[in-house]
């Protein structure tokens, strides 16, 4: 597994060049791009095999067969480290299951480069890669990211960048900090840092170009709700038409507080805010314990 440059060809390591030169077979995502890289490195490949998202499953058998014959196979993708939002995972799993040694020649990774450049905490981080494009899967992933207590790294194409930033703004709020990195290691490399609100405003007047990495700061520590917060939330539920039996568990979930605390505040409130609804047809309020 050989990492290749994400932009600057000077990032191809001497060990990577030697590994590619010694390989009997080079499996690559795009043979044309890989030939250019190999030409730059002065490497003449013995055999090139195309392995990409659409044929990786079927090519696994052919690669393992070559390994069974004692061949040395090197796997590269168009840019970065194979297996990170790129083909490679199936290949590694199949080779290891067949008893073959898997060696990684480390090198460039857009996720790590952007994380380091962001200035956000990097001791713990979550890598999301590309988000689902639409539907329930996307909504659920955005909700998880909104509450993520680690720095989050997201890949995005220029054509979808605006929408993704707008969706993150809605899910995480305007003040959440973000770093927007583009064209990393290339001539026009740029890392912009600010709030999601400012990022959305900036993107509304600029045309995104090149591949982007979004690095989102961790969600802030939740502020513990006090009795005044619980009272306000209960009154808001009452105003919306809930009776006590509906309002109490909803407020406990919303504010992440024990039902017992909400029950005690509700007792002090009495029927204030309920109008003539009272307890509805459900009878007396029941102690949650």
Q: pTM for this structure? A: 0.76
pLDDT at residue 225 tops 90:
no
Topology classification of domain 110-216? 3.30.950
Where do you find CATH 3.30.950.10 in the chain? 110-216
Where do you find CATH 3.40.1010.10 in the chain? 9-97
Q: Look at 270 and 33; give whichever has higher pLDDT.
A: 33
Residues 6+ apart with CB under 8 A from 139: none
pLDDT in tens, 16-60: 999 999 999 999 999 999 999 999 999 999 999 999 989 988 899
Distance CA 155, CA 239 (A): 42
pLDDT at residue 216 tops 70:
yes
Q: Look at 280 and 24; give whichever has higher pLDDT.
A: 24
- Architecture per CATH, 9-97: 3-Layer(aba) Sandwich (3.40)
Q: Which residue is listed with tokens 């990786």?
A: 56
Distance CA 176, CA 169 (A): 8
pLDDT in tens, 174-204: 999 999 999 999 999 999 999 999 999 999 9
For residue 275, name the pLDDT band (cuts at 50, 70, 90). low
Q: Dihedral through CA 19, CA 20, CA 25, CA 28, nearest 10?
A: 120
Distance CA 72, CA 218 (A): 42
User: What's the DSSP call for residue 46?
Assistant: S
pLDDT in tens, 139-176: 999 999 999 999 999 999 999 999 999 999 999 999 99
Beta strand 177-182 with 151-156: parallel, antiparallel or unpaired?
Answer: unpaired
């Amino acid at each position: 597994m050989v990492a290749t440059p994400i932009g600057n060809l000077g990032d191809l390591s001497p060990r990577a060049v030697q590994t590619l030169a010694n390989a009997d077979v080079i499996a690559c995502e795009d043979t044309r791009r890989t030939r250019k890289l190999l030409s730059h490195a002065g490497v003449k490949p013995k055999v090139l095999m195309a392995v990409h998202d659409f044929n990786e499953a079927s090519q696994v058998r052919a690669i393992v067969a070559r390994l069974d014959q004692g061949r040395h196979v090197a796997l590269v993708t168009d840019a970065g480290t194979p297996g990170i939002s790129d083909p490679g995972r199936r290949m590694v799993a199949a080779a290891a299951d067949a008893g073959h040694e898997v060696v990684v020649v480390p090198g460039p990774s857009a996720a790590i480069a952007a994380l380091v450049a962001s200035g956000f905490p990097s001791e713990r981080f979550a890598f999301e890669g590309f988000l689902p494009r639409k539907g329930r899967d996307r909504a659920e992933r955005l909700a998880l990211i909104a509450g993520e207590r680690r720095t989050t790294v997201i890949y995005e194409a220029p054509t979808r960048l605006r929408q993704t930033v707008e969706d993150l703004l809605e899910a995480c709020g305007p003040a959440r900090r973000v770093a927007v990195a583009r064209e990393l290691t290339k001539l026009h490399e740029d890392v912009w840092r600010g709030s999601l609100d400012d990022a959305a405003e900036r993107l509304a007047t600029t045309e995104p170009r090149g591949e982007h990495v979004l690095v989102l700061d961790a969600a802030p520590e939740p502020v513990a709700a006090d009795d005044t917060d619980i009272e306000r939330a209960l009154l808001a539920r009452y105003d919306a038409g809930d009776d006590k039996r509906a309002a109490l568990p909803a407020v406990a979930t919303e504010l992440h507080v024990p039902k017992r605390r909400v029950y005690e505040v509700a007792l002090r409130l009495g029927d204030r805010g309920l109008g003539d609804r009272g307890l509805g047809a459900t009878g007396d309020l029941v102690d949650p314990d």
